[in-house]
Every structure is written in C-alpha cells, then in structure tokens.
Amino acid sequence: MKVAILGGGGQTGTAIGAKLIRQGHKVWFYRFPAWINIPGVPKRPKKSRTEIEELKLAINKSTVSEEGYRAIHRWANELEFNRVDILIFTFPSYLAEILGHLIGHHISGVPFLNISDRFLGSIAFLKAANGTKRGSSSFCIALGSPPLLAYQLEQAKGETILYYQKPVVLISCFPVSEVKRSLHIINHLFDIPIVNIRVMPTLLHLAFENIQSIVHAVQDLYNLKKGYYTNPKYLYSPLTYTPEIVERINKVVEERDLIAATFGIHGLRSLKEFDNSTFITSKVAYPVGTAYYRHVHPLLSKLPAPPYYKCHGFEDVGWSMVTLESFGLLAKVLHPELTSLIDEWNILMKVDYRRVGRTVQTLDIAHIPISQITETFQS
C-alpha cells in the first residue's frame, strides 16, 4: 500500500512507519510547516527535518520478538496526499481540527485512519476537512489507542524504542457500513488477527471507551503538580502511580459510565478490565487494576516516564475530559470529580481547557436531541 503518515518524527508515527516500511509498504511522512501554538500544550524542543532524517526503531527484546529497523524518512507535502491509498493520523488529537482545515481540499476520497481517536477526534478532522472546497475523506477508521507502545528517550540518540505490540485493538469506522473494509485494512497494515480486532458500534461508543485518557489526565496532573516528571525514570513507579491516583481514576470512570448510559452506551471497561485486556501476560500474579499491578508488571514497570512536555495529559484533558464533560452537561448528569479534575488542570496550566478543547458545541452536535445523537454517528 501507499501510505502517508501524518506525524513524521513523533514516537508513534516513527514506530508505525518503520514497521510498515519493513512490511513492504511505500511510506511517506508529513510534518506541519511551522509549530502550531495550542493553549495549554507546552512547546516541545524544535527538531529540524535533518535532525530526524534517519528513521530508527529499536526493539525491547524482553517484550517484542523482532529485530530493529532503520530507514530514511521520505517526506510528502499536501499535494501528494490524493496519490496514496490511506492517510494515517499519528499527531496528538488536539491537531485534528487544524490539520483538517489545512489538508482537507487535498484528500478528497482518500481513506483516513486515526491511530488514537481520543474523544471524536476523527469526527473533528472530517468536519474541518469537509468545510474545505473539495470535501474530504469519504471513509475513516478510528482506533481507541495506538496498536503499539513506543517511546523516544533523550538518551536513545534519536531512536524510537518499541516496547509492546497490543494483542487486541478497539476500532470503529465511519460510516459504519464499512466494517468489513476496516477489518481488512487493520489486519493488512498491522498484522493483527481479525478475531483480535474489537469493533465498537459507532465512533461515539469508541470515544466513551476512553479509560486510557482518564488514566493519563489523572496521573499526569498528579505528577506535574509534584514535579516528578522533571527527571523522569519510570512511568509506573510507586512514586508516580499511587493508590491515590487509582482511586481518583475509578471515580472519574464511574462518572463516565453514568454519562455514557444516558446515550444508551453500556458495558465500558473499568480500569481493572482495561489492564487485564490490554497488558496480557502469563506472569500476572497480582491484583489487576491496582497501583501495585503496574509497579511490578513485567512490561509496565519498565516503561519510561516522559519529560513534562511529552505528557499525554495535556491532550487528554482538553480533547477527552472536556469533551466527556460537555456530553455530561448536555445530558444533565452530575460529574463533580470530572469537573474538579478539569478545574485543577486549568489552574495548573493557567488556561481554560473548556474554551480551547473539544466540546459538543465545537463538534456541532449540541443541538441534536439526546435520543438521536448516537444515530448521527451511524450514517
């Protein structure tokens, strides 16, 4: 396949690009021509194209049984996007709307795959792209989170380290009539057996399955306030992932479940179910869903903590927690823990994520009756 990866140089984009090149796909990468200023998101150290010209993927041998890979980035521009078979979005979700406006008129009819939808990021992209002169992608697939765990460490000299390939992924597609095609594409690109691809009924169902976003928003807030990401070591150490964090995650999850139920969505995974289904290992002999579980897990205990500017929490608060809260307000469901979480982020970062983030208003669905909202993601 001919693939354009939107997000050249990032850890997820690099890892996915390297794997696809190795599998024989023709891959191009795309970066924004200039840094995009998003309130509430810290600026990362600048990298030129020449600094990341070589694509380096190292393998954590204890968790992934394959060899590393090196290649050269092949860069694409907007004019080349309608020549590829699929676009793969690996940017943070807060760039979905901006990218849609920027490239929408160049991608008419090109399938779009969002590696980490967060909360309706795919819809936000398509809505922005459809506002351009020529329309946008006619078909999109969204994953709840990337199919692999990859990190770029400062001491790794530009390498991206692949730690884990997830055995099971959650997806949805738009329109929902394209499920068969979506399964084929995910299987073909990532070599994930179709039986291990769990299809959610709509993009809204996938959005509410945002347990990992809740984890990031709670944990990163705690660690940023404590200053623990200044000199990071492990993401899930007893210092950086505490029982207090787990307790708060579970409280927000309970509120999420109440909000989702208003829209007819039930059976979402708890933290315990998420840990058990995502980080499968035969060596587990400790309570799943607890802080201790991640402290001693063979894989999770080795994951590096990010420098502060790479925290997922900045993305998850404005483009998942704020979105979730806006659905709660629409449904008139009480969510004091969620509101408190967002308020604390606003204070910490001195920004109003409710104004800059994604809401039912920015998605243009606030006017739709609650009983019909799920249906809007099926057509």
78-92 per-residue burial string, b: 16 or more CB within 10 A, e: under 16: eeebbebebbbbbbb
Report which DSSP code applies to 318: I
In the beta sheet, which residues pair with residue 69?
57
Q: What are the phi and psi torsion angles at 162 (to 5°)?
A: -90, 120
**Distance in angstroms (rounded) separating the CA atoms of residues 283 and 331:** 42
pLDDT at 307: 87
Distance of CA 248 to CAs 221, 222, 226, 374, Å? 11, 10, 16, 28
What pLDDT shows up at residue 285?
62
The pLDDT of residue 181 is 95
163 three-class SS: strand
* Enclosing H/E stretch for 100: helix 96-103
Integer Cα distance of 356 and 340 in angstroms:
17
Structure tokens at 294: 């991640």
Q: At what angle do helices 121-130 and 96-103 cross, to 10 degrees?
A: 30
* Beta-sheet pairing, 169-174 with 160-165: unpaired
Question: What is the reported pLDDT for 155?
Answer: 57
Tokens linked to 340:
């408190």
Residue with tokens 């823990």: 337
In degrees to the nearest 10, what's the CA dihedral of 96, 100, 101, 102?
100
Q: How far is CA 286 from the centre of its chain?
A: 28
Please tell me the predicted confidence (pLDDT) of residue 85: 94
Q: Is 78 helix (H, G, I), strand (E, B) or coil?
A: helix
CATH topology of domain 2-206: Rossmann fold (3.40.50)
Q: Where are the domains of the chain?
A: 2-206, 210-376
Which CATH number does 210-376 carry?
1.10.1040.10
67-83 per-position pLDDT tens digit: 888 888 889 888 888 88
User: Does the predicted model carry a pTM greater than 0.85?
Assistant: yes
pLDDT, tens digit, 9 for 90 and up, residues 194-234: 999 999 999 999 999 999 999 999 999 999 999 988 766 89
CB atoms < 10 A from the CB of 226, how many? 12
Q: What's the confidence (pLDDT) of residue 30?
A: 92
How far apart are the two ends of the chain, measured CA to CA in Å? 27
State which residues of the chain have pLDDT below 70. 51, 132-137, 154-157, 231-232, 281-285, 379
Question: What is the CA 228 to chain-centroid distance, rounded?
Answer: 23
